[in-house]
Amino acid sequence: MIYEIISSGFGGQGALTIGKFLAKAGMKEGKHVSWLPSYGPEMRGGTANVSTVISDKPVASPIVSFPNVLVALNQPSLDKFASSVVKGGFIIANENLCPKIPTFEGVKTISAPLSKIATEIGSEMVLNMLAIGMVIGLTDMIKYETIEADLTAFLEKKNPKLLELNLIAIKKGIDLTK
């Protein structure tokens, strides 16, 4: 099993955090992982992206050219990476900021109004956790319980309200894939 993931969006949407939490969870589950962010000048309003690899075998390269999972939180990200997703792969698109969602033979595209749902949950900050839930729901590459434990350790004392909203968002993301 090898998952090569590109997560991309505007700086501030949490695209890099998606890859970071997936990689940390994979590592905690004993998998081989890599996390390679690209965020130079993109962080302030441009498109930032991260390549994450989660595998049962050692990772030969952290560079992801042909992902089997793409998380596109905005249209520029979708435009840049969608055509590189391999057959049998998945595209997760935030339809609030991706008005033109392409389809490709052999690639399953799941779109949802992630920005709107995040606001309904209680904070735009949980948009990335909705996407993580969708990745888990589509691939089972990591367990929900691993992410839950990691988030709890990170946010329990620092921001318990955000922790609660993040966990709700991940579960909602999983539900969106069913």
The residue-averaged pLDDT of 3-16 equals 94
The residue-averaged pLDDT of 167-178 equals 97
The whole model's pTM is what? 0.94
- In Å, what is the CA distance from 114 to each residue of 27, 48, 79, 89, 161? 27, 18, 18, 20, 20
| 21: amino acid identity, one letter | F
Query: Which one is predicted more confidently, 133 or 48?
Result: 133
pLDDT digits (tens, 9 = 90+) for 43-99: 555 689 999 999 999 999 999 999 999 999 999 999 999 999 999 999 999 999 999
The residue-averaged pLDDT of 148-174 equals 96
Q: What is the mean pLDDT of the chain?
A: 95
Q: Domain holding 82: CATH number?
A: 3.40.920.10
Query: Which one is predicted more confidently, 26 or 41?
Result: 26
The residue-averaged pLDDT of 132-148 equals 97
Q: Domain limits at 143?
A: 2-176
Number of domains in the chain: 1
